[in-house]
Homo-oligomer: A and B are copies of this chain.
Amino acid sequence: MAEEVILLDFWPSPFGMRARIALREKGVDFDLREEDLLGNKSPLLLETNPVHEKIPVLIHKGKAVCESLVIVQYIDETWGHECPLLPSDPYERSRARFWADYVDKIFPVGRAAWLSTGETQEAAKEEYIQGFKTLEGELGDKAYFGGERFGYVDVSLIPLYNSFYALEKLANCSVAEECPKLVQWAERCMQRESVAKSLPDPHKVYDFLLVLKKKLQPQ
């Protein structure tokens, strides 16, 4: 009980996906508890993340860790030191943190790309694709962002790939067409069990975002 690992999650959340992937990379058994974010948040969520009231929340030994990148770093520092997600060299670590933060900076642009309309939407689409081109430039000819090993930046970014299909359908925004090398990287990531098991069916994500869009933009 004391060693129990609980993840408060919501299946279409890219932030939740990060925590799921990191736990599975480390081979940690966890109790995934699905939150109903569109309806009622559980008392446990409100109690463990009173500041933001958002998933994911990782509860380990009764203590809560919040914010997806903080959770991934916690997982990396707590389990499976033989398969680290962050490199050991301080400079390489700083680069990994920089690019994971960059992913967090472009995430709201992607949201604007499918939620907004008109000129705002066009500008967001362009900025989002530009962001992925920058990421593709950083990836270069490496297998993963950190080199030969799947790591922190890969965990941070791969959940966004999951919504490429929805973005194309909802906003006619094809990141995949513009960034072929990044698609190859994503397909490489998808071959990992930790990733394949943690990312939902893109068609289901599209269906969900379509409902969410209608909810957020009532006629």
Chain A residues packing against B (C-beta within 8 Å): 51, 60, 63, 65-67, 69-71, 73-74, 77-78, 90-91, 93-94, 97-98, 101-102, 134
Knowing A98-B70, A101-B70 touch, does A51 contact B91 (C-beta < 8 A)? no
What residues of chain B lie closer than 8 Å to A74, measured between beta carbons?
Answer: 90-91, 93-94
Bound form: Cα–Cα A93–B63 in Å:
13
* Contact across chains for A65 and B94 when beta carbons are under 8 A apart: yes
* Pair B134/A98 contact, Cβ less than 8 Å: no
14 example contacts (A-B, Cβ-Cβ < 8 A) are as follows A51-B102, A51-B134, A60-B91, A65-B91, A66-B98, A67-B98, A69-B101, A70-B97, A70-B98, A70-B101, A74-B91, A77-B90, A77-B93, A78-B90
Instruction: Report Cα–Cα, A2/B102, bound state, in Å.
Output: 28
Cα(A67)–Cα(B78), bound, Å? 25
Complex: how many Å from CA A97 to CA B75? 14
A70–B152 Cα gap in the complex (Å)? 14
Chain B minimum-CB-distance residue to A70: B97
**CB distance A70 to B94 under 8 Å?**
yes
